[in-house]
Homo-oligomer: A and B are copies of this chain.
Amino acid sequence: MPRAVTRSRPTGLTIGKLSQETGVNIETIRYYERIGLMPAPPRSQGRQRLYEDLHRRRLAFIRRSRALGFSLNDTRDLLGLARGHDLTCAEVKALTEQHIADIRGKIRDLRRLDRVLSELAGQCRGSTVPDCPILDALGKGSEAARNARLP
């Protein structure tokens, strides 16, 4: 089945409506325009932005890309805005796989932190005596502290 041509009725959304419909903050929409992620929309006579379906679809794309953790620069690439050409499917896949690798790296780091911190918290009675195993671990070059790495 060929891709349906979405014919856009002239919606003329104000920025507030677009914000409501997409769940993207007004200031964020203007920010995306400033950095060239969103195209500058036509304006009303009083200089207010009036968005069309085109913009709504673009913004929804950006929002989903961000929701999947892609950076704004990645998103720019995915939109085909970088260097003026669309990515091939292979390039998109490569970008995604790199992103997955980054995510897995972060998960590993966070799990290590979780282990170390849980261990420390478990040693802590939480009393009011001055001696605290957590502060001790931070203050001395303890085994526990050395098992963690900078993020």
Residues of A within 8 A of B (CB): 3, 57, 60-61, 63-69, 78, 88-90, 92-94, 96-97, 99-100, 103-104, 106-107, 110-111, 113-114, 116-118, 120-121, 124-132, 134-135, 137-139, 141, 145, 148-151
Chain copies in the assembly?
2
User: CB distance B88 to A128 under 8 Å?
Assistant: yes
- CB-CB < 8 A to A94: which residues of B? 126
CB distance from A143 to the nearest CB of B (A): 11
* Also in contact, A124 and B107, with CB within 8 A (given A64-B138, A68-B145): no
Query: By DSSP majority rule, is chain A's interface helix, strand, loop, or mixed?
Result: helix
State whether A65 touches B121 (Cβ < 8 A). Answer: no
